[in-house]
Amino acid sequence: MTTELTLLGWSLVLALFQVMLTARFRNRETGTTYNTGSRDEPGPPVGVITGRLRRAQANLFETLPLFAAAVLIAHVAGREGALTFWGAWLYLAARIAYVPAYALGVAYLRSAIWMVSMAGLVMILAAILRPA
């Protein structure tokens, strides 16, 4: 299996981690009685950190399908190389760094990290779309 596909797999692990982390923080706010019930009534207000984790998760879910598609297209088309290798590494590393940066509320750094992840995605797209 190629490095890019392996990094895609780890991106899915990151997505699952973010789901579980957000749920854990929310569970602390609502308690197990609420979470194991029918949840017909709205729970207590979402805390600051939980809200940030939710938004970080939603942000990942906006770009993860694009990353997955780009990596798979590059693989099937035989377009893997330095651009896809480094692009996939940049994407995943930045997405990992994005979680604590967002949770801690580090505004400008968080945006810079997001731009690095987008640069990684653009690198993979460039490898796919460049003339053969």
**Amino acid 43: pLDDT:** 86
Longest dimension (CA), the chain: 59
pLDDT category at 5 given cuts 50, 70, 90 is: very high
Rounded to the nearest 5 percent, the helix, strand and coil shares of the chain are: 80, 0, 20
Which residue matches tokens 């949770």? 103
**Global pTM?**
0.93
**Amino acid 39: pLDDT:** 84
Q: At what angle do helices 107-129 and 48-76 cross, to 10 degrees?
A: 10
